[in-house]
Structure 1
Amino acid sequence: MSTRANPSSIALPFLVATAGIALFSVMDAVMKHLALAIGAYNAIFWRNLAGAAFGGLAWLGAGGRWPAREVMRIHLIRGAISSVMAILFFWGLARVPLAQGVALAFVAPLIALYLAALILKEQISRRAVFASLFGFAGVLVILAAQAEADLGPEALKGSLAILGSAMFYAYNIILMRQQAQVAKPLEIAFFQSAIVSLCFLTAAPFLAAFPPAEELGGVFAGAVLAFGSLMLLSWAYARAEAQYLAPVEYTAFIWAVLLGALVFAEPVRPLTIVGAAMIVAACLFAARKRPAPVADVEAAL
């Protein structure tokens, strides 16, 4: 695999990653509904099982081959991290408003910036740091708005679970970048769903219950949305450094506000809108920066 400078801006990877986050946000709303209806464990287990079946057919149909040992190691690590991240996040999301849950998860991109420097040896630009700090300030404004509401002890437990999930998700962002440089999007999406399914399968004899017929459509929709999001994000992270794409995560809040209001009738407070505007401004500011040289992965993808 050769290395050369990429002369194009990060505009296209940024837009593709934004689309991936949009799909992921809709999936969050579907999963919140499923977590309330059938429990967080069953929502995640059946969604990933459906995703593994769908992704496996697509991967094999495209001529997929078993990955090399080092690549498989990355798949396994990310799958295990994602399993813990998912159960904490969706358990918590069933106990807090959608917008608040997504806002709490926004600590992950901020942590990911510095993990990118530590693990990937990326040079962190002042623009990227400023954008993430400004975006995180927007998150604090949102949390101030949410603090005005009396949500009770269950919401506190849910918030703590989501913060724990965010710690795992920060590392997941870095793994996404590493994984995208050595594997095709179809392979990534399939192994992600398959490995998470295997992790959750260990508890299936004690916790698994087949979803009722009226929830099967939600399970299938969640699987397709998650698969599509993984494909888009894998494509984007193969073409731009994690530090430049991390602020894209903040756009999830805009979707959370809309879906929370439309699907779950959750109110939107004025400070929440102010925080969202700060997040959008941070993302636009970060998107103007051109990336450093990256690996030429076009032949692999």
Structure 2
Amino acid sequence: MQSPQASRPLAGILWMALTGVMFVAVTAVVKHVGDGVPAAQAAFLRYVLGLVFLIPMIRPIVAARLTGRQIRLFGLRGAVHTLAVILWFFAMARIPIAEVTAMNYLSPVYITIGAALFMGERLPPRRLAAVIVALIGALIILRPGMKAIEIGHIAMLGTALFFAAGYLIAKQLSGEVSAAVVVGMLSITVTIGLSPFAWAVWVTPTLPQLGWLFLVACFATAGHYTMTLAFAAAPLTVTQPVTFLQLVWAVILGAVVFGEPVDGWVVLGGAVILGSVTFITWREAVARRSVTPVVSATKV
């Protein structure tokens, strides 16, 4: 836990705000590519083109001398993250950016539930109430019976669930190996996991499409880096609420660039979910636990 002297709240807020810009830029570029490249292939190319950023992590991975159990866990994490990424790319081409962003806020809620079910974490009444409130936020966004629930919405529910499963596995491994190994092994296993899906739907991409997908890799890598700087500067209780700005940027971007209508219910639902996640994070800080991640930690 960070000491008060080491905490730099303003720096943490600024870095997290920049993180939000980076991840919204990722969604914008993927939205721009759209169905021009199949979802599985687009996801595969994003990871293949991003392997250049893996070079500094090769030495720590080799030096880690991973056990058979650790390799199996990394493989399992890669498998669930692969499914999450495919579903995310699929949803991005079918529903508005704001809805994708708001529904991704559910991942930390799933993580809280998963930690209680599979890791023995306690789920006291106040945290349980916060989880229920977050699920109500999801219902506000989806509004079943009031508007059509599209396949993209179903894909995003799966995306958040698989990202949460991957994070819980990473949580187990983070106490055993360095962060560089965790990140590097994720890139390797997801690239391998995506390859057969990409092969099955392969179409020859154009040079501009390759350029856009490399830009996705650049923005995603930059986002994870600035998020790390935010974590180092200030505690989660300070940086978590700033992630709401991602939804603001997404709404503006969707309306201005892609002509998507501004849906106040989506903004309200996203605010309800994020408020719940922020409360859970605060309760964990009070109890000196660290299970629930910042929203941006569950990203492509």
TM-score (norm 1): 0.74
Identify the range of structure 1 (278-287 vs 114-123) with the bigger mean alpha-carbon deviation. Answer: 278-287
* Secondary structure of 1:122's aligned partner: coil
Question: In 2 relative to 1, CA 276–156 (structure 1 residues): closer, same or farther, beyond 3 Å?
Answer: closer
**Mapped contact 1:188–1:230 kept (Cα < 8 A):** no
Equivalent of 2:218, from 203, 219, 224?
224
User: How far does residue 88 in structure 1 lie from its aligned partner after superposition?
Assistant: 1.9
Name 1:191's counterpart in structure 2.
185
- 1:95 equivalenced with 2:94 (yes/no): yes
> Superposition pairs for residues 260-299 of structure 1, below 5 Å?
260-289=254-283, 290-293=285-288
User: How far does residue 281 in structure 1 lie from its aligned partner after superposition?
Assistant: 3.7
Q: Match for 2:172: what amino acid?
A: Q
User: Please, what is the CA RMSD of the aligned residues?
Assistant: 4.1
**Mapped contact 2:17–2:242 kept (Cα < 8 A):** yes
Distance in 2 between residues matched to 1:177 and 1:20, nearest whole Å: 21
Q: Match for 1:88: what amino acid?
A: L
**Count of equivalent residues:** 284
**Mapped contact 1:117–1:124 kept (Cα < 8 A):** yes
1:226-249 C-alpha deviation (Å, 9 max, x unpaired): 3344456678899x999x999987
Distance in 1 between residues matched to 2:159 and 2:181, nearest whole Å: 24
- 1:123 equivalenced with 2:117 (yes/no): no
Name 2:162's counterpart in structure 1.
168
User: How far does residue 75 in structure 1 lie from its aligned partner after superposition?
Assistant: 2.0
Q: Match for 1:175: what amino acid?
A: I
1:136-164 C-alpha deviation (Å, 9 max, x unpaired): 333322333x97666xxxx7222222223
Distance in 2 between residues matched to 1:105 and 1:245, nearest whole Å: 17
User: How far does residue 220 in structure 1 lie from its aligned partner after superposition?
Assistant: 1.4
Identify the range of structure 1 (273-282 vs 93-102) with the bigger mean alpha-carbon deviation. Answer: 273-282
**Mapped contact 1:109–1:246 kept (Cα < 8 A):** no
Name 1:114's counterpart in structure 2.
113
Name 1:56's counterpart in structure 2.
54
Q: Match for 1:225: what amino acid?
A: F
**Mapped contact 2:84–2:159 kept (Cα < 8 A):** yes
**Mapped contact 2:2–2:235 kept (Cα < 8 A):** no
- Name stretches of at least 5 consecutive residues in structure 1 with no aligned partner: 1-5, 296-301
Distance in 1 between residues matched to 2:254 and 2:276, nearest whole Å: 23
Distance in 2 between residues matched to 1:64 and 1:235, nearest whole Å: 25
Question: In 2 relative to 1, CA 169–62 (structure 1 residues): closer, same or farther, beyond 3 Å?
Answer: closer
Equivalent of 2:202, from 191, 208, 212?
208
Distance in 1 between residues matched to 2:279 and 2:22, nearest whole Å: 23
User: How far does residue 294 in structure 1 lie from its aligned partner after superposition?
Assistant: 5.8
**Mapped contact 2:97–2:250 kept (Cα < 8 A):** yes
1:143-197 C-alpha deviation (Å, 9 max, x unpaired): 33x97666xxxx7222222223333223123123223333333322222122111
* Secondary structure of 2:63's aligned partner: coil
* Secondary structure of 2:177's aligned partner: coil
What is the percent sequence identity of the aligned residues? 26
Distance in 1 between residues matched to 2:245 and 2:123, nearest whole Å: 21
**Mapped contact 1:177–1:241 kept (Cα < 8 A):** no
Name 1:299's counterpart in structure 2.
none
- Name stretches of at least 5 consecutive residues in structure 2 with no aligned partner: 291-300
